[in-house]
Amino acid sequence: RKEVEQDPGPFNVPEGATVAFNCTYSNSASQSFFWYRQDCRKEPKLLMSVYSSGNEDGRFTAQLNRASQYISLLIRDSKLSDSATYLCAVYTSGTYKYIFGTGTRLKVLA
C-alpha cells in the first residue's frame, strides 16, 4: 500500500460545480498535511495547510479525519482557472520528509 494515495482522476466538472477530493495516508504518526496545486509543467504551489479542526480559504475547504486517516479538499463554485492537478502532502516528523500523493487532475469545463 502506498503511503499517500489519491484518485488520479480526471474529475471533469462544469463551471460552478462543487467538487471534493480525498487523500488517504497510511502512517498514523503523520502530523502535518497540505494541499498543493500543480499546473502543467510547473512547480507545485501551496494551496493550503490542513488543520485538525478544518479550515477554509475562500472557495476552498480542507478537512482532516485522523480516525480514518484521510484529508479532503472541497472546491465550491468551480472556476475554469481551477483546472490543475491537486497534490496532497503528508509530513511525518519521525521521517523528516514530505510524502506526496500522485495528484488528482481536475478539469473545469465551460
Partner 1 sequence: GAVVSQHPSWVICKSGTSVKIECRSLDFQATTMFWYRQFPKQSLMLMATSNEGSKATYEQGVEKDKFLINHASLTLSTLTVTSAHPEDSSFYICSARGSGRTSNQPQHFGDGTRLSIL
Q: Which residue among 10, 14, 46, 79 contacts partner 1 (CB under 8 A)?
A: 46
Nearer to partner 1, 103 or 108 (CB): 103
Q: Is 60 in the site for partner 1 (CB under 8 A)?
A: no
Question: How many CA within 13 A on the CB side of residue 69?
Answer: 11
- For the chain, what's the residue count? 110
41 Cβ contact partners less than 8 Å away, ≥ 6 residues apart: none
Binding window for partner 1 (CB under 8 A); candidates: 13-21, 40-48, 58-66, 72-80: 40-48
Residue 71 bridge partners (DSSP): 23, 64
Residues at the interface with partner 1 (CB under 8 A): 31-32, 34, 41-46, 49, 51, 87, 89, 91, 93, 96-103
